[in-house]
Structure 1
């Protein structure tokens, strides 16, 4: 199996290094029979995100290589950005795709847990969960409202582009991510469901995501938190 990990980024200099380091750690947990590569898709970046991606080199006595590849585009549309990266990864031989976001950190067993699900029962897609990295700058009521809403359990029905994985074959069959500025992840999952593909809703596949309120997508996770905060 070859896993392609695709990470969209738009001006993520503050978070990209931790994100890539966490993904690299997850890759290092994989058995030798499975290979995985990272691909960052930089969309309309005006900061030094690219410089930081290029600096992510693995160095040892006999190895010096860029641990992740990257593409640059100017779509300003997360659906197009994800699709560009996914199709590039598939063209490079990836049979399983894993998505996260540049403001998120994956757990060290993120990929191992995905493989465990695949080996336990046939699945075409895994929808994982997210944890919030910090509540310190948010009101206690916002945290309470969020915890009352969020179902951190197997069989949950949450959808996060920051923690979504699927087979290449099924992805191509449903037409891939649509060119949407938000909810591209929800749209993709709905098309998997409509075609009868097997979806695993797992809380064992975990990502820690930023609690920032400055949204990159107008109706994304940051916007959801900001809305909770505003209403409290």
Structure 2
């Protein structure tokens, strides 16, 4: 069984689109009908996130950690208990490609990858409209959306169950829990695929849920640019 884990803290605006995209990826023909279980960790949600998740065929967990690392770890534990052999991670403000899971598993099966670090793209830069041209130039200069990149995103990450357990799982960090996991995987000798094949589109929102994450990086870059 394949597991997909999604941490959620007040994500009513994008959660439905995220879940619909993951369900499409779960139905990809090249997965040969292997079951896919989706675990949504609802962390201290006060909006309609729980009701939205409840309208889809997903497993929901509730916690009050206010900590993205703890939320990812709880969802991963649920999936592992259910027998997941592969854990795919994304975020609630992200839409994954139809072949997202298939691409991760292909790298695992054909290339022997214990984990897959994918890239992200941004579809809507509207929150940064005032400095859009300068921000795009800086983003494209600093970001490598190609195989062999060095980026780590919780929005586009996959890992086999055995490697995840050997590395100790997601630590309870408020930010960069994805980076900490990958560094632990590397220290354990896991084989990492730095691939641009699994595709996701994520948000460029200013009001980030995880302080210090991708959204905060874009906001910091934007604020440092002249109008």
TM exceeds 0.5? yes
Please list the CA deviations of residues 176-198 of structure 1 after superposition, one character each: whole Å capped at 9, or x if unmatched. Answer: 11111001011110011111110
Counterpart residue number, 2:15: 16
Give the TM-score, by structure 2 length. 0.95
Provide the secondary structure at the position in 2 that maps to 1:205. Answer: coil
The structural deviation recorded for 1:136 is 3.1
* 1:225 and 2:218 aligned: yes
Hey, what's the Cα distance between the residues in 1 that align with 2:33 and 2:112? 19
After TM superposition, list the pairs within 5 Å mapping 1:131-210 onto structure 2: 131-138=121-128, 139-210=132-203
| Matched residues, number | 221
Runs (5+) with no aligned partner, structure 1:
57-66
Hey, what's the Cα distance between the residues in 2 that align with 1:11 and 1:49? 6
Runs (5+) with no aligned partner, structure 2:
none
Conservation of the 8 A alpha-carbon contact between 2:171 and 2:177: yes
Conservation of the 8 A alpha-carbon contact between 2:27 and 2:33: no
Conservation of the 8 A alpha-carbon contact between 2:108 and 2:115: no
Hey, what's the Cα distance between the residues in 1 that align with 2:42 and 2:143? 30
Hey, what's the Cα distance between the residues in 2 that align with 1:210 and 1:133? 7
Give the TM-score, by structure 1 length. 0.93
The structural deviation recorded for 1:20 is 0.1
Picking from 98, 113, 117, the partner of 1:127 is 117
The structural deviation recorded for 1:35 is 1.6
* 1:32 and 2:32 aligned: yes
Structure number with higher helix proportion: 2
Q: Provide the aligned C-alpha RMSD in A.
A: 0.9
